[in-house]
Amino acid sequence: MLYQVIMTVDLPRDLPAEEAAQILAQEKAYSQDLQRSGKWRHIWRIAGQYANCSIFDVRDHDELHQILSGLPLFPFMDISVTPLLRHPSAIGRGRPLVIPNGGEGAPPTQFPKESRRRTQ
């Protein structure tokens, strides 16, 4: 199942800098492991906010909850979750787009041929 997740970070001002740096490093490693696994498909910074818009591809609500509650920044986040389903006008199958260079500025590659067929 696909989910859009908006995470807004609010680190306490009195959190010691060293502790904050450690939590952020753990968060980065945790997030990147999940991105490599394919479960955390997209992560985008929301312009002008200490927040991200992410897309997760996980088995069910339970797995999503387990992942989100394991985020090192979880105690310092507001999280909103929106389940997603395939749009009837979508030309892909809702499978992950293969983005070259980890998505760094490059446009998505084309959908595989067999997924261009239109299904309702």
Ligand X SMILES: O=C(O)C[C@H]1C=CC(=O)O1
**What is the binding site for ligand X (CB under 6 A)?**
7, 9, 27-28, 31, 52, 73
User: Closest approach of Cβ 54 to ligand X, in Å?
Assistant: 7
Residue number, 28 or 61, with CB nearest to ligand X: 28
Please report the DSSP string for 43-84 in residue order.
Answer: EEEPTTSSEEEEEEE-SSHHHHHHHHHT-TTGGGEEEEEEEE
Closer Cβ to ligand X, 2 or 53, answer by number: 53
Q: How far is the CB of 7 from ligand X (least distance, A)?
A: 6
CB of residue 52 vs ligand X: minimum separation in angstroms?
4
The DSSP symbol for 89 reads: T
User: Using CB atoms, what's the residue nearest to ligand X?
Assistant: 52
DSSP 8-state class, residue 117: S
| C-alpha–C-alpha distance, residues 5 and 55, integer Å | 6
**Whole-number minimum distance, CB 97 to ligand X, in Å?**
20
Closer residue to ligand X in complex, CB, 11/99: 11
Q: Both tokens of residue 99?
A: 């983005």
* Closer residue to ligand X in complex, CB, 2/9: 9
Q: Is the dihedral of CA 68, 39, 54, 103 positive or negative?
A: positive
